Structure 1
């Protein structure tokens, strides 16, 4: 009966030795294997990344979004400057004050409409003035003014969707409201002039209002790219309004100057309002810059939402994409 117990004991001994060897081998596992296993751990999950980003201090967030904040404020300042210059364009030629009186699109000088080479030219000019022809006609966005010499004797009240009709002025002032059968070509030109002038009026007014709103809402683009998208669309419309209005105003002014001075038989001088052109094109340039900034912020610059959702992380003071940081850790 004792023999089986001895055999049973002998059978257990190798198992104990194996266990001892296994414990010894596990205790003597190289540290390099452990370090490799640690390096091959998967990157932190999105939840962990979000917890890390929510733990960021306000100083880190400000530093990470500094570039986006700077562009947003630059766009807001651009719209402020554009709004100021557009206001000057709107109120130009609406008062006889020295500053507003110099803001006009074009000016026609008819003081000596009959050249001096014509016999009795001064007498004819004086007769023309006596029957209602003024020395100059100055055109703005809302109205026009007329006068003799350097005096604006008559400044017409502002009129919505105003357009300058020289034929109507000629009939009312020189011909006492008489009607004249105009050629078809002249009627077509007047229709085009009226249509383009009214478009210019509406675009300038719409651009001024939209730029004022963009000046206030531009800082919202710091939140996320989703805020930049609608702001960029509105900025594009504002740029379209102001740019189209400036182009139309410039074309009308130079066309009037060319058409007036093309009559060699008449001594008519035309002047394009330099200050008005400078003001409206400065407004156009700043409006265009604001649109470019908002369009770029739709795909560039770190936003607060990127840090909050974990799309971007801050490591050692450097902003990184989650995809690029995880891939770099796997390659290492």
Structure 2
């Protein structure tokens, strides 16, 4: 009878020991792989933003991108007015020119019979005024207005000597100020450069109207856009400076000869249009250059470079 009792104790011993082991392996000390997962899971979690939160965070950048597009639109409109100005005898267009050469009183009134001599000049083919645009020139009389506009030509430049001599009757000549003749070569080169720059600036400005909003996506987009914007600003700005210098230089050279009563004036509308187009092209460049380092982009938020907390964008 004693043997079975001993066997029963030995059979219970493993169960007791097993109970101790089960208690030592309580849930308060989880297995190693579960502890590792709990420690690593918060570190690999990335914030998930809704489309509305991203739009709010990039609102400032979007506003600057839209302002650049609007600036290019305004610049393009004024560049078009510059390109089509003086191309035909139509309202508005016939008053957009770089400079106007007035020969209506080429003989001073102090000279005896000056009015008669001036009228004779008209009969031999000399017009009262000649105004110059980007593509051509127009001519006419003071009491009539524009009577003829030359055919538009690419890379056009105004040669007053050829124009006046071709219109005078056979054998008739006219003495022009020496200052006008000496600057003809410079006038030709600079006029052609101005023509190319204005045309190129208008084309790029039109494209940038639709491309500028891409800067909202990423700062990487801002880099090529800033480069193109710099080229546009350079083209339009250089053409504006050249056009202004040509206009004022021609006015000075035409009026420098005291023996002839020649007048010249700079086209106010063309002058204003050029500088407005140049100013808005400059502003667009400043905006694109600034967005390379400022304002949060959509890519900054999606990649975690910038985080939105309580509606405020924060850097990691």
Give, in angstroms, the shift of residue 112 of structure 1: 1.0
Deviations 1:110-165 (A, max 9, x none): 11110111012112111111111100001000000111124211111111000000
Match in the other structure for 1:329: none
Task: Find out whether 1:115 has 2:108 as its counterpart.
Answer: yes
Distance 2:294 2:171 in 1: 63
Task: Find out whether 1:289 has 2:283 as its counterpart.
Answer: yes
Deviations 1:150-206 (A, max 9, x none): 4211111111000000111122122648899x9998765211110000000000000
Match in the other structure for 2:138: 145
Distance 2:181 2:265 in 1: 24
Change over 3 Å in CA distance of 1:179–1:127 after alignment to 2: closer
Identify the match of residue 309 of structure 1 among 303, 309, 313: 303
Task: Find out whether 1:70 has 2:72 as its counterpart.
Answer: no
Task: Find out whether 1:79 has 2:72 as its counterpart.
Answer: yes
- SS state of the match for residue 134, structure 1? coil
- SS state of the match for residue 98, structure 1? coil
Match in the other structure for 1:136: 129
Match in the other structure for 1:94: 87
Q: After the TM superposition, which of the residue ranges 285-294 and 91-100 deviates more from structure 2?
A: 91-100
Change over 3 Å in CA distance of 1:200–1:176 after alignment to 2: farther
Within-5 A mapping of 1:262-281 = 262-281=256-275
Distance 2:186 2:151 in 1: 24
Q: Which runs of 5+ in 1 are unaligned?
A: 1-22, 28-40, 323-332
- SS state of the match for residue 92, structure 2? helix
Match in the other structure for 2:195: 201
Report the TM-score, using the length of structure 2 for normalisation: 0.83
Within-5 A mapping of 1:223-262 = 223-262=217-256
Report the TM-score, using the length of structure 1 for normalisation: 0.79
Match in the other structure for 1:320: 314
Give, in angstroms, the shift of residue 95 of structure 1: 1.6
Distance 1:274 1:262 in 2: 21
Q: Which runs of 5+ in 2 are unaligned?
A: 1-23, 29-38
Match in the other structure for 1:18: none
Distance 1:78 1:306 in 2: 26
- SS state of the match for residue 234, structure 1? helix
Distance 1:296 1:177 in 2: 63
Q: Check whether the contact 2:106–2:262 (CA below 8 A) recurs between aligned residues.
A: yes
Identify the match of residue 153 of structure 2 among 143, 156, 159: 159
Deviations 1:272-310 (A, max 9, x none): 100111111101110000000000001110000001111
Distance 1:144 1:190 in 2: 16
Q: Check whether the contact 2:177–2:256 (CA below 8 A) recurs between aligned residues.
A: no
Q: Check whether the contact 1:171–1:177 (CA below 8 A) recurs between aligned residues.
A: no
Tell me how large the CA RMSD over aligned residues is.
2.4
Change over 3 Å in CA distance of 1:59–1:77 after alignment to 2: same
